[in-house]
Amino acid sequence: MACTVVIAGVGPGLGESIARRFAAEGCRVGLFARSASYLDDLAADLDGTAGAGLAVPTDLTDPDEIAAGFEGVRDAFGPVDVLVNHASAASWDGLTDISTESFDRALAVGPKAALHCSQEAVGDMRETGGGTVIFTGATTSVRGREGAVGFSAAKFANRGLAESMARELGPEGIHVAHVVLDGGILPPDRDVENDEDYLDPDAIADSYWHLVEQDESAWTLELDLRPHTEDF
């Protein structure tokens, strides 16, 4: 299934796994992040698959840069069919330690960026008659984490945004899903004591692709993923 995808917030690890999974299915993938050199290398790799990649260096806190990035994707690949709101940025600070700047940045890179990206993508989806928007969530999307007020607030806001969008856009043929990643993700740059205690980013990416392929008669609103060793 060939489609045009935007992944907002791509880096080594899960973001890259999602990009590679979608490109392997023949998708044309717009890669949004700030690191131009990393994106260029990844886009070149994706061009060697069944799909294609486009590096779109973007400050996701800037609505004008987001709009320009989407226009670049449309020029290269056509209207956007799939959006993955994957970006987050937050300091690990508690209530009395977090600065106003850090809290504002958590909201700007998280729910505010997701709002602006979704507005851009959904405009395309409405014109073409459907599409998929996926939000990357975390344990703290449903249960606030001690010592991480910015991250928790941003992830809670993303979940609320996703649920509201799903109810608004579902009747228009646009699938909105929120994915709770309830556990650590296997890191790409260091060894861990036991791989089985972590979510495999490639396996997560498989689940994201499944959401895109779901029949509209049985759409998932929220998908909860965790390692099999996690204590329920």
d(CA 7, CA 16) in angstroms, rounded, equals 9
Supply the pLDDT for residue 147: 86
Tens-digit pLDDT profile for residues 145-197: 898 999 999 999 999 999 999 999 999 999 999 999 999 989 877 777 787 88
In a domain, 175, yes or no: yes
Q: How confident is the prediction for the chain on average, in pLDDT?
A: 95
Residue in the block written with tokens 């998908």: 223
Q: What pLDDT digit, counting tens, does each position of 62-71 carry?
A: 999 999 999 9
Q: How many domains does the chain have?
A: 1
Instruction: Give yes or no for a contact between 209 and 22, defined as CB atoms under 8 angstroms apart.
Output: yes
CATH of the domain at 171: 3.40.50.720
Of 34-38, 119-123, 166-170, the least confident: 34-38
Q: Domain for residue 53, yes or no?
A: yes
Percentage of the chain modeled with pLDDT above 70: 98
Examine residue 231 and state whether it is found in any structural domain, yes or no.
no
Q: Is the pLDDT score of 231 beyond 80?
A: no
- 91: pLDDT confidence band, cut at 50, 70 and 90? confident
230 within some domain = no
Q: What's the token pair of residue 40? A: 């260029």
pLDDT at 69: 98
Is 232 inside any structural domain? no
pLDDT for position 191: 76
Question: Is residue 112 within 8 Å of 35, Cβ to Cβ?
Answer: no
Q: Give the residue-averaged pLDDT of 39-55.
A: 98
54: left (phi over 0), alpha (psi -120 to 50) or beta: beta
Q: Which pLDDT score is estimated for 229?
A: 77
The answer to whether residue 67 sits within a structural domain is yes
DSSP state letters, the chain: ---EEEEES--TTHHHHHHHHHHHTT-EEEEEES-HHHHHHHHHHHTTSSSEEEEEE--TT-HHHHHHHHHHHHHHH-S--EEEE---------TTT--HHHHHHHHIIIIIHHHHHHHHHHHHHHHHT-EEEEEEEEGGGTSPPTT-HHHHHHHHHHHHHHHHHHHHHGGGTEEEEEEEE-SPBPPSSS--S-GGGSB-HHHHHHHHHHHHH--GGG--SEEEE--TTS--
> Half-sphere exposure of residue 225, counting CA atoms within 13 Å on the CB side?
23
pTM of the model: 0.96
Quick one: pLDDT band at residue 51, thresholds 50, 70, 90?
very high
Q: Is residue 201 part of a domain?
A: yes
pLDDT at 24: 98
Six token digits for residue 210? 């499944």
| Residue 60 included in any domain | yes
pLDDT at 125: 98
pLDDT exceeds cutoff 80 at 35: yes
**Cα torsion for 216, 225, 203, 218, to the nearest 10°?**
-10
Which domain does 140 fall in, by range?
4-225
